[in-house]
Amino acid sequence: MGSVTITLLMLLCLETFKLGFSARNHSITCIQSERQALLRFKQDLKDPSNRLVAWTHDGDCCKWDGIVCDNVTGHVIKVQLGSSQGVFAPNAEAEARVGLKLRGKLNPSMIDLKYLSNLDLSNNDFGETQIPTWFWHLSSNQYYLNISRNQFQGSIPDLLTMLHPSAVIDLSSNNFRGPLPRLSSNVTAIDLSNNSMSGSTSHFLCYKSNEPMKLEVLNLGNNFLSGEIPDCWKMFPRLVAIKLCDNNFSGKIPRSMGTFTFLQSLHMRNNILVGEVPFFLKKCSELLTVDFGANQLSGYIPPWMGERLSKLIIFSLRTNKFNDNNLSGEIPEEVTNLVGLQSLNFSHNLLVGTVPENIGAMESLE
């Protein structure tokens, strides 16, 4: 599992953990109007596994599976209907459970949950339907939204109304198309990977917000994004993880990527990037994993990598099934300074000379 994925999962788990303190409290009861809203939402769903069997007109919605209420006000603050089986289940088990996932339509009654801050509909089977427009106008308290691993279609509008100071959004592994949405400055993490997003990223990255951008995790991997990567990264000083791999980005790696103080993971594998490994990355001293493989980079492996990026665990410039890199020269002796390095891959290049003698002393190298 890539470090970007791990970082995003950590953020998602953190937001879920925060809400754990508002778990079921038997001293509160469901608010009638919110129970009715949930029942209308259930009415348009198909529930072959009877997960929502306890959702009844005379039940206390604060005790229903998948529902969490505030333990003071009784308002519904969390709806968690994501399938617990997910992509890590054995193949046979996963196939058997596909027919047990929620499907159907998304009733607009969810918009009546004015205090909803956490919505998880991940890993269900909504049958290649387009998300209705009301869905993007849920409570302004929303700070955790996960609809990953469904088959949602259509475009994603600009997400500029996320008012909570640490919004986490996971829209990955769907069939969303069209341009990338502009983001609120309050979005902390967004995962748009494994969709069919296309076009340039200029409007997405260079949109000038009135407030400093709080984005820490950005995953745009495995889409159809193209063009040069814009030089607007100074607007995102908090970024910890960037994943732009498996797209059609071209041109050079932009200079502003060397301004990240906290960046730990940079994955740009399988694009059409050219030029040398940029010297300005030596300023990103917190980097743990770097993957520039399957591009058209050229030049030499920089000696400063072993001097400035002392925390590196994974560094890859190897080829994939499409394009070779064209790195030449010798492997610099300074590489052996990376004592914590676990994975080093320079295969399918034009390197010459001998392997540094001290490379055998890199005990962490696998």
Fold classification of 275-366 is 3.80.10
At 28 the pLDDT is 72
At 331 the pLDDT is 63
At 138 the pLDDT is 80
Say if 3-274 and 275-366 have the same CATH topology. yes
**Which of 8-22, 47-61, 161-175, 289-303: highest mean pLDDT?**
47-61
Residue 1 pLDDT greater than 70, yes or no = no
Residue 24 pLDDT greater than 50, yes or no = no
Residue 103 pLDDT greater than 70, yes or no = yes
Rounded to the nearest angstrom, the gap between the alpha carbon of residue 301 and the centroid of all alpha carbons in its chain is 30
Top CATH class of 3-274 equals alpha beta
* Average pLDDT for 271-281: 90
Residue 191 pLDDT greater than 90, yes or no = yes
Residue 172 pLDDT greater than 90, yes or no = yes
What does the mean pLDDT of the chain come to? 81
Q: What is the pLDDT of residues 56-78, one digit of tens each?
A: 998 899 999 999 999 999 999 99
Three-state SS string over the chain comes to CCHHHHHHHHHHHHHHHHHHHHCCCCCCCCCHHHHHHHHHHHHCEECCCCCCCCCCCCCCHHHCCCEEECCCCCCEEEEECCCCCCCCCCHHHHHHHHCCCCEECCCHHHHHCCCCCEEECCCCCCCCCECCHHHHHCCCCCCEEECCCCCCEECCCCECCCCCCCEEEECCCCEEEECCCCECCCEEEEECCCCEEEECCHHHHCCCCCCCCCCCEEECCCCEEEEECCCCHHHCCCCCEEECCCCEEEECCCHHHHHCCCCCEEECCCCEEEECCCHHHHHCCCCCEEECCCCEEEEECCCCHHHHCCCCCEEECCCCCCCCCEEEECCCHHHHHCCCCCEEECCCCEECCCCCHHHHHCCCCC
At 165 the pLDDT is 74
Residue 46 pLDDT greater than 90, yes or no = yes
DSSP β-bridge partners for residue 183: 159
For the chain, the structural domain boundaries read 3-274, 275-366
* Average pLDDT for 317-344: 55
* Average pLDDT for 81-108: 67
Q: What is the pLDDT of residues 226-259, one digit of tens each?
A: 999 999 999 999 999 999 999 999 999 999 999 9
* Average pLDDT for 352-357: 58
